[in-house]
Every structure is written in C-alpha cells, then in structure tokens.
Amino acid sequence: MNQPFSTIRDLLRFAVTRFNQAELAFGHGCANAYDEAAYLILHTLHLPLDLLDPFLDAHLRPEEIDTVLNVIERRATDRIPAAYITQEAWMHGVRFFVDERVIVPRSFIGELLNDGLQPYVSDPDHVSAVLELCTGSGCLAILAAEAFPNADIDAVDLSPAALEVAALNVETYGLDERIALFEGDLFAPLAPRRYDVILANPPYVNSASMQVLPEEYRHEPEMALAGGADGMDVVRRIITRARDWLTEDGILVIEIGNERAHVEAAFGGLDLVWLSTSAGDDNVFLLQASDLPR
C-alpha cells in the first residue's frame, strides 16, 4: 500500500489542515497553524528551524513520515503545547528546555531586557543585583544575566519541580556562578539585601478567565497561572513588599498579560508606567522604588 504522503510539503499541508480542523489554540511560541506545523515538522526531522523551503520537496522515508504524523496527531488530538512535545521553547532568540513542570516561556519582559530596560535603568553595566520572582524555567533570569553583565541574579519560585528545570537552563548557559535559585514564597527564602531591579511574571489570570482557558493552557501548572478572583493576589503581595528589597533608585517590573483593567483598579493610586512591547502598552508595568508603598 502506498503512503499517502511522500514529501515535507505533503505533511505541511496536512498538518495545517489538521490543526485548523481541530481549532487549536496558539500562543506558546507560534501564532498560527502554518508556523506551528512548520516548526514541529522541522524539529521532528532534525532540520534547521529557519530553513523550510530547501526541504519542502524532499522525499521522506516511511518511518520519518510515521514519526511526523504521530507528532501532528499528538498536537491535534491531545492539544499538548508544541513546546512540551519538543521540550524546547524559544524566547527572543534564546532556546530554553521546558516540560510540564513549568509554563511555556512567553514573557514580554524578555524583549524589554534587550536594551537593559533603558531609560529606566541609566546604565545596565552599573546594575549589580537583580531579583526575579516566580522564575519558572529561569528564562528571564538568564536573559537578565545577559542584559546586566555585571549583576548577580537571584531567582525564586515556590515550585521545586520548576526549579529543577531552571537549574538545567542555568547550567546550559554556564551561569551557575551568577544565578542563584531559591525555593520559597516570593521574598521569604532570601537573605536581606537590596536589588537594583526586580522582575516578575507572576500568576495573574483572573478566576473567570481560568474557567475558559483553552485546553492547551490546562497542560501548564495551574499554580503558575491562577492569580485569584481579579488575578492580582500575587501582584498585591509583591507590590506590598518590594520597596523593602529595592535600592533607592531601583525599579520593579511586572508582567500582567491582559489584566490591565484589574491592575488599575487595584493600584490606580500608584504611579504606574506602562511599557511598550510588541503586544502593545498593556502587558507590562513599571514602578520606581520611590513610588512604592512603604
């Protein structure tokens, strides 16, 4: 019996159709069915992720076709995020190991670190201490180490399983001497000190939104997503304590996804600075230490 598929082009067409028929949700790295299909096929066949065209009409061995079809069906039927299938996530050009112990990295703070948070940080080279709360896979801590080359980074998470993943990523990038990982609840496991920058991509999904999350997001750890009735439970606790941990001219940067209305309802009395990202001006806010509550 002849195989119904013979080339990557055949598989790509089938995958796009299959993903669209299944009405998959995207947002864990790729934005549409075509990009996700191309990524999964290239990764599964161990081909360069940025070189699809030269291989489109390459004929595949039957076992290669079966392997790709199994991946396509796993994504379409089980609705597992592609990053969990490939055990990798790319954020701002950097590859991170991921699995179901952590949410899939997708923080807009990462792109803000490209220029070292300037102009709010006057000179990234002068930053000596950075704290990342709710570190998950450790991705922002690693990007912060690159953005602030003279800084030591402390990264905290409540989940010991997530910290196992973070440790793998820190080791991969040879940052064991610069990034220290702490297990505990926000500031609780830290020795008293002051940081120039505190970063956080905390759980912020409000309870109503949690009830209607696409199935893909339900494969991620709930504790990394659920932020209480208005999504601000963890954010409140960070803002309440942050001034005690920042230098006099330090800054706090928090990502809150689509929860700007809840942020402004909860913290409208503070001098919130909304930062521009590729997703707009509603996803990340900044507070100066001097504007935080004592």
Question: Does any domain span residue 36?
Answer: yes
Greater pLDDT, 2 or 191: 191
Q: What are phi and psi of 273, to 5 degrees?
A: -110, 115
What pLDDT sits at residue 151?
Answer: 98
Element (H, E) at 142: helix 139-147
Q: Is residue 209 included in any domain, yes or no? A: yes
**50: containing domain:** 8-86
Q: What residue type is 232 in one-letter code?
A: M
Each residue's pLDDT tens digit, 203-254: 999 999 999 999 999 999 999 999 999 999 999 999 999 999 999 999 999 9
The CATH number for 57's domain is: 1.10.8
38, 62, 86: which is the final residue of a domain? 86
**Domain check: are 163 and 221 in the same one?**
yes
* Contact predicate 44/85, CB 8 Å: no
Residues 204, 144 within the same domain: yes
Q: Are both 171 and 226 inside the same structural domain?
A: yes
Provide the CATH number for the domain around residue 269: 3.40.50.150
| 164-177: b (≥16 Cβ within 10 Å) or e | ebbeebbeebebee
Residue 289 has pLDDT above 50, yes or no: yes
221 within a domain of the structure (yes/no): yes
According to the model, what pLDDT value does residue 268 have? 85
Indicate whether 43 and 152 sit together in one domain: no
Q: Residue 92: inside a domain, yes or no?
A: no
For the chain, the maximum distance between any two Cα atoms, rounded to a whole number of angstroms, is 74
- What average pLDDT is seen over the chain? 95
Residue 293's SS3 state is coil
CA distances to 25, 47, 62, 216 from 34, rounded to whole Å, are: 13, 17, 23, 17
**Are residues 142 and 82 part of one domain?**
no
Residue 158 domain-assigned?
A: yes
Residue 199 predicted with pLDDT over 50: yes
**Rounded Cα distance, 219 and 100, in Å:** 7
**For the chain, how many structural domains are there in total?**
2
* Residue 1 included in any domain: no
Residues 39 and 159 occupy one common structural domain: no
Note the pTM of the prediction, 2 decimals. 0.93
Q: Closest Cα to residue 206, out of 159, 265, 253, 149?
A: 265
> Is the pLDDT confidence value at 265 over 90?
yes
**Position 27 confidence tier, pLDDT thresholds 50, 70, 90:** confident
Question: Residues 122, 197: one domain?
Answer: yes
Whether 136 and 199 map to the same domain: the answer is yes
Confidence class for position 1, pLDDT limits 50, 70, 90: very low
C-beta of residue 166 within 8 angstroms of C-beta of residue 233: no
* Distance from chain centroid for Cα 252: 18
Confidence class of residue 3 from pLDDT cuts 50, 70 and 90? low
3-state helix, strand, coil in the chain (%, to 5): 40, 20, 40
- 172 in any annotated domain: yes
- Domain match, 258 and 284 both: yes
Closest CA to 7 of 46, 35, 39, 45: 45
Residues 159-190: tens digit of each pLDDT: 999 999 999 999 999 999 999 999 999 999 99
Q: What is the DSSP string of 6-41?
A: -BHHHHHHHHHHHHHHTT----SS-SSHHHHHHHHH
- The domain boundary, picked from 86, 111, 128, lies at 86
pLDDT of the residue at 263: 95
Q: Verify that 38 and 61 share a domain, yes or no.
A: yes
* 159 located within any domain: yes
Same-domain check for residues 162 and 54: no
Q: Is residue 2 pLDDT above 60, yes or no?
A: no
**Same domain, yes or no: 138 and 56:** no
Three-state SS for 209? helix
Please give the span between the terminal C-alpha atoms of the chain, in angstroms, as a whole number: 74
Q: What is the mean pLDDT of residues 103-119?
A: 94
**Which of 55, 86, 117 represents a domain boundary (last residue)?**
86
